[in-house]
Every structure is written in structure tokens, then in C-alpha cells.
Structure 1
């Protein structure tokens, strides 16, 4: 605890990245926990309206590459801080716009802030954190974020059940904290990256493997976010209290695991870590498809949350692969690629779910298997040919 206090009061680049992660997770957790109740009970939205809302929320993710235009007029750090403020503002005003179009509007604002932040923050992390312990540093940042997500969730539960605090107050409080942290981040010294970044969109064949794994990662994320919890409710009849407990346990597990996962990736390398991640995902998704015991299903949910930690390995691969002056451009493009699946996959898998939920998770296992096969080629001649390295080396 003393070490963390020293880090957070140091105003270092690492402290800035930690505060950005904390601000983002507080706002997002507050929005995610109460949005369904607000949509149904306050706004009176139907299932179709909520579906439109989720699509509206994902559209800025597809447009993440447009953040490059902002880099013409401001540094990445300033864009990141402005995005934190936009995210907080969007969440804070949600409760004051209790109509369908008002909810669409506030969701668009918070989503622009969130997706621009994620694109720029990935670039900043890649440039500011040292290569030799990059995964460990990312593990610590994500562990801090996971911890504050858990704390936020606990506070919302206490405020709702013991003090009957309104959705409006929860939205405002979480958004205001995020906005206040953005104001605090303005006081940090502007950190200049070592290499001037391109502000145009760049697509290179040599990054093909990263593009593929990024797209597949987005598809895998959607299956977990949209359907793992749905399985717990529909098949095992989990109540709100049971889902809340499961969320808490999985968040705690991720908080404890992330620093160790980061060090493990630094030790064994990103290729080996990705192979382990995807192989484990194949088993987890197949187990989801055929599990009949709710304790076993809950265990799979927690394991799935921990496996999410290994996504740090893909960020490490990104850092070691991308040219130093193309980090910002490629980071923004990769976030767009990652969100392509978020637009169409839930709809398609929702149709598949109607024919049998098992096929959704079998589809997830297939996606994980493809990811595994791609990761196995990393560092081989096949990997070089796919990415055009042979041609690059001849230049």
C-alpha cells in the first residue's frame, strides 16, 4: 500500500497511466451496473431500444482511427486527458436526460470519450513503459483498474440497497469522479514521447498477424461479455445477488492474478503466453457449451476473467512489432479492427443462440482455435511470409 501511495503521488508517467485507468473504470462500472435498470424503469426502453443503444455505443469504437485528426492540434497526453473528461461528462449527465434520445445522446458522448481514450492510451502505454518489464507494468495498471472496479461496484451495491440511492445520483457521482480525475491529470507535466508520431492512417502488411489477432480478440470478448453472463441467468437461474457475487469474485481473482500474469509474460515471452491463452480458451468455451453444474459454470466464468489478463501479451507483441513512429496510428486502427466484431457478432450469435446456446460457445472455441493456430506461426518463416518480412528485409 505504501508503495502504491508513493507511485500515485510521484506524478510520473506510470502514475498518469494508473490514474487514467482508474478514472475510466469508475465511470464505466457505474454506467454498466445501473444502465439496464435506468433504461427499463426510468426511460421505459424496450429490448429493441436497448439493442439500438448498444449499437450506438459501439459505433465510436469503429471510428477510433479518427482520433488521429486530434493529434494534429494536441499531444497524445492532452487528447487522453480530454477523453477522460468527455467520458466522465457523458456518464454524469445520463441521469438528467431520462428519455430514449437523451440516453442515446449521453451514451454517444461517453462512448466517444471511452473509445478515443482507449486508442490513445494504448499508444501512450506502448511508448512510455519500458520494454524489459512492459507486461509487468501493464499487469499492475490493470490490477489497479480491476481493484477500483470492484470498489465501485461495492459502493453502488451499498448505496442502492442500504440507502436507496437513485440511478441518477450513481451516474452523476461516478461521472463526476472521472471528470475530477481528468482535471487532476491536467496538472501533470506534459510527457513528450521519444519519437514523433505519424498523424495519418497507416496499414502495413508486416502487421497482418497483429491485425488478425486483434480482430479475433474482439470477437472473443463479445462472446464472453454478451453470452457468458446470459448463460448463468438462463440455464442456471442466477439471481441479481448471485451474479453480483460472481462479478465480485471474478474481479478479485483478476486483481490478484494480473501482476503475476504480467511478470509471467515478461519471463516466457508473448508468443508462449498467447499460445497458453488461446489453448485455455478452447477448453473453456467447450466447457461452457456442455457444463451442467452451476458451480462449475461459475468457476469457468472466473477462469475466463483471469484468462482475459493474458491479453497483455498481445500488447507486448504490439510494442515489439510496430515501428516507433507508427504506434499512435496503428493503435487507433487496431481499436477500430477490434470493434468490427462488436457491431455484427452479437446479432449473429443471438440468432445462433435461439437454435441452441451450445453453438455460441462452440463458435467461441473455433475462434480461439484459429487464434491459437495464428499464434503458433509467430517467429516462424510462415509468420514472416504472412507479414511480408521477406520483402521488407530485401529493401
Structure 2
């Protein structure tokens, strides 16, 4: 079930990501500022992810996940039929609602259903399977673009329809009941402070990569849809191979060291983005950045080891809201900054990564205990 959910999500998102920059620039006629607004619109449902708790009053997490997969597929499928700025905003909002609700409940389900001792490895295998189908999607788009010159509309529709079809198939799965009954109210605890901070910074960093790394390839280096598909396919291939090893590596060295490695590498990658002039070097940075994304499993592992068993669903939904606080306003602001010089966007990313590194260094120290209020808990 978790594998199929991951595959459905990645097919829809891959199709959208490959085409969206070219669709935005060539078909809709959007500027960098418009794309920034689009990305902010896309993240508004993420900011409201905590509202998924209301759905859990009337349906199980699994049913909400299936409904979210269907909504994601529908939003992507109709995108090409709305070739205007506001039409693009509308379809993006629909797909975003499905995506972010899905991510919230899927994270909760994964945390509850997968064993702690090999959690990172299991997540690595699930994400590796998803990455493989992402690569297949990229390859399909490349072949369709080169050999058959298919339209943006056809790519959006096909990827969205496959996602929706998988949602229909998921309906046939019996409902999986977890052992611990989850709270359906919003819970905020001081002992989760470090996780909240890293989640917030992760959302800010992710937006810079998702919104502007691909845009850099299109606007500065003139990448076409087939070229972007090839880049994404290579990234997916590298990620597919790396993810199982990354998962086992995290289980072996621990989430603290893995987070330190991730954020230190990100500082260097964002600095390189700011000053790269060769399109092959820029493509290499994109692939490296995608592999570094694999280390995000470490934050999920930290989440599983930190969160109380009956607060997984509540904290997962809240974490997605926190993750998207910066994501709502940051793309818009950086889209405006982009017009003055794209370098400043990636320098901002390096600063965010550096802040994350400093926070991760406190894990397991007295500062960590003080920030998260563990000393007060021990006294109680």
C-alpha cells in the first residue's frame, strides 16, 4: 500500500514538475515573479495541512490517503486544459491539496506501520521504488516529446490519469488499523521544538530547490522539455540507486550525523548554484542536490524516535503546516529577488542550510535538552 501510494504520487508530481516551467514560460507567458506567486499558491494547502485532522474524524488515515491520491491526479490531469495564469493557479491549488494531505497522512501511516530498528532502510526502499517510477516517467516524457512531439496538455493528462487510476485501485485494499489510537486534535509540545525548527528550515530550503533550481536550467541555460526530462531522469536514476544505501547508512550512523552531513553538503551546493556558468556543472549540481534530498529520511527517523506513539498523526499534520510557513511567502519574495539577480536566491538557500547545520549540531547536547525542555520533564 505504501509503495503504491508513493508511486502514484511521484508519477503525478514528476509529470507536473517536468512540464511546469516550460508550460509556465512558453504557453502561459509567466515571468519569474509569476512563477514565484504560483509556487506560493501551491504551498498554501501545505500551510493548512493540519486541517486533515478534521477528515480523520469521519474517515481512517488510509481512506484519506486514497482520496488525496485521487485529488492529486485530478489536479494534474486538468492543468493543460487551463492555459492561463489564473487557470494554472486553480489547477495547481487542486493538485496541491491532494499532495499535501497525502504527505501528511502518509507520513503518519509510515511512522506507525514501519519498525523502528530498520525504519530508515524501509523508507529508503519505498522511496527507491518511487524514484524508479519517477525515472520511468521521465523516460516516457522524453520519448513522447522527441518521437511524437506530444503537447504539454497530453503529458499533464496522462500522468494525472495514471495517478487517479492507482487511487481507484487502492480502494480495493482492506483498511489497515494501527495498534495505537491516534489523537485527532492539534497538539504542540515543547519537547518537539528541535523537530519543529528543522522542519521549518527544511520547508524553506526545499522551496528554493523545487521552485528555482529547475527555473535556472530553463531561463539561464535554455533547457527544453526533453532536456529537463533527461535531467530529471538522471537524477531519479541516481536517487533510485542511492536511497537503499542511504537508508542503511542512516540506521548505522544515526540521524544526528546524517543530518549534519546533509546540511553541510547543502551549504556547498547552494553556493555553487549561485556562481555556476556551465550547464553541465549546473546539471551535476541538480543531481547531487537530488541525492542529498535522500538524507531527509534522517529527519523522519528523528521524528519516529521523538514523537509519542498516540501523537503521530497530529504531529505529522502540524509538521507539514510548519514546513510550509516559509514555503507560502518565500517563493513570492524570492521570485521578486530573482528579477534583480538569481544568485541572491541561492545565497539565501546556503544561509538556510547553514542555520539547519547549526541546529542539528545541538542534538544530543545540553543545549538540545534545554531547548526542548527535557530538564523540566525529568523534574516532573
Shorter chain as denominator, the TM-score bin is over 0.9
Moved more, 183-192 or 30-39: 30-39
| 1:100 CA drift (Å) | 4.8
1:295 and 1:169 map into 2 onto residues whose CA distance is 29
CA deviation string 1:308-356 (max 9, x = no partner): 1000000000000011111111111111111112122123333444444
Tell me the alpha carbon deviations over residues 231-288 of structure 1, each in whole angstroms, 9 at most, x when there is no partner: 4445545455444332222221111101100000011110110011111112222223
Distance 2:152 2:346 in 1: 33
Q: Matched residues in 2 for 1:136 and 1:345: separation?
A: 32
RMSD between superposed Cα atoms in Å: 2.2
The answer on whether the counterparts of 2:132 and 2:240 sit within 8 Å (CA) in structure 1 is yes
Q: How many pairs were matched up? A: 380
In the alignment, the residues of structure 2 paired with residue 34 and residue 232 of structure 1 have an alpha-carbon distance, to the nearest angstrom, of 13
RCO higher in structure (CA 8 A, sep ≥6): 2
Q: For 2:21 and 2:354, how far apart are their aligned partners in 1?
A: 33
Give the 3 Å change call, closer, same or farther, for CA 245–178 of structure 1 in structure 2: closer
Q: 1:40 to 1:126 in 2, by over 3 A?
A: same
CA gap 1:229/1:113 in 2 versus in 1, 3 angstroms: closer
Aligned to 2:114: 129
- Larger displacement relative to structure 2 (286-295 or 112-121): 286-295
C-alpha contact (below 8 Å) 2:12/2:73 kept by paired residues: yes
After TM superposition, give the deviation of residue 88 of structure 1 in Å: 1.4
Alpha-carbon distance change, 246 to 331 in structure 1, aligned in 2, over 3 angstroms:
same
151-160 or 63-72, which deviates more:
151-160
3-state SS of 1:145 partner: helix
- Please state how far the C-alpha of 1:56 moved relative to its aligned partner: 2.4
Residue 140 of structure 1: how far off its partner (Å): 0.9
Equivalent residue number for residue 379 of structure 2: 394
- Give a deviation string over 1:113-147, Cα, whole Å, max 9, x none: 11100110011010001001100111111111111
CA spacing shift, 1:187–1:242, aligned 2, 3 Å: closer
Post-superposition offset of 1:205: 0.7
Task: Tell me whether 175-184 or 255-264 shows the greater mean CA deviation.
Answer: 175-184
Distance 1:95 1:393 in 2: 56
Secondary structure at the counterpart of residue 188 of structure 1: coil
Instruction: From 179, 188, 207, give the equivalent of 1:194.
Output: 179
Q: Secondary structure at the match of 1:190?
A: coil
Kept in 1, the 8 Å contact 2:37–2:331? The answer is: no
> What TM-score do the two structures reach when normalised by structure 2?
0.93
* Per-residue deviation, 1:63: 0.5
1:387 to partner: Cα distance: 0.4
Give the direction of change, closer, same or farther, for the CA distance of 1:229–1:54 in structure 2 (3 Å limit).
closer
**Structure 2 portions without partners, runs of 5+:** none
Tell me how far apart the structure 2 counterparts of residues 387 and 170 of structure 1 sit (CA, whole Å).
47
* Mean Cα deviation higher: 77-86 or 45-54: 45-54
Cα–Cα, structure 1 residues 245 and 155, in superposed 2: closer, same or farther, change >3 Å?
A: closer
Q: Equivalents in 2 of 1:260, 1:205: separation in Å?
A: 33
Q: Work out the CA distance in 1 between the residues paired with 2:225 and 2:236.
A: 16
Structure 2 CA distance for partners of 1:107 and 1:361, relative to 1, 3 Å? closer
Conserved 8 A contact 2:43-2:96: yes
Deviation at 1:27, TM superposition (A): 1.2
Q: For residues 351 and 106 of structure 1, do their structure 2 counterparts lie closer, same or farther at Cα, with a shift above 3 Å needed?
A: closer
For residues 171 and 293 of structure 1, do their structure 2 counterparts lie closer, same or farther at Cα, with a shift above 3 Å needed?
closer
* Aligned mates of 2:30, 2:168 — CA distance in 1: 34
Does the Cα contact within 8 Å between 2:40 and 2:330 map onto a contact in 1?
A: no
Q: TM-score, structure 1 length as denominator?
A: 0.89
CA deviation vs aligned residue, 1:66-118 (integer Å, no higher than 9, x gap) = 00000001111111011111111222233444555444333222211111001
| Cα gap change, 1:179 to 1:244, in 2 (>3 Å) | closer
What are the superposed Cα offsets for residues 341-395 of structure 1, whole Å, 9 maximum, x if unpaired? 2122123333444444333322222211111111111111110110011111222
Q: 1:232 to 1:50 in 2, by over 3 A?
A: closer
Question: Is residue 139–residue 230 contact of structure 2 (8 Å, CA) maintained in 1?
Answer: no
Q: Which moved more, 1:181-190 or 1:314-323?
A: 181-190
Partners in 2 of 1:215 and 1:142 — Cα distance? 22
> For structure 1, which runs of at least 5 residues remain unmatched after alignment?
1-15
